[in-house]
Amino acid sequence: MPYKLFQSKLIDDPLFAQLVEFGRLARKGYWLELGRKAAKAGAPPSAFNYWIAFMKNEFGWSEKTELKDLSAPKDMGTDDIKSRIAALSKKIKQVPAPVEMQALMTEH
């Protein structure tokens, strides 16, 4: 299935979207079970290196969670604040106005 058709079906067809979500969840479950079975079977720790790397890449796993509040101006310099405002302004300009959104929704 071409990617554009997949994306449009994902938006337009709720049943298809549920099926895709189920498939993604089943896929993740498969890989978690694979690791669990290997651990129960007594696989050596070195056997998990590729599995862990795969899980990090595919499912966003991380060994360290670091949270930074980039919106706190007290910790930012003037140049940092200006560049943050410029970046946010660009994002805001990319969001379609309600009228444009309605036109996009009725085109499909």
Are residue 56 and residue 85 in the same domain, yes or no? Answer: no
Residues 6+ apart with CB under 8 A from 28: 59
Are residue 54 and residue 15 in the same domain, yes or no? Answer: yes
Residue range(s) defining the domain that contains residue 61: 1-65
How far apart are the C-alpha atoms of 38 and 41, rounded to whole Å? 5
What total number of domains does the chain contain?
Answer: 2
Q: pLDDT tens digits, residue range 9-50?
A: 999 999 999 999 999 999 999 999 998 888 888 888 888 888
Are residue 78 and residue 36 in the same domain, yes or no? Answer: no
**pTM here?**
0.52
Are residue 79 and residue 30 in the same domain, yes or no? Answer: no
Are residue 26 and residue 45 in the same domain, yes or no? Answer: yes
Are residue 21 and residue 43 in the same domain, yes or no? Answer: yes
Q: pLDDT tens digits, residue range 58-105?
A: 888 877 766 666 666 666 677 777 888 888 887 777 776 766 666 666
Are 50 and 77 within 8 A, CB to CB?
no
Residue with tokens 């498969």: 30
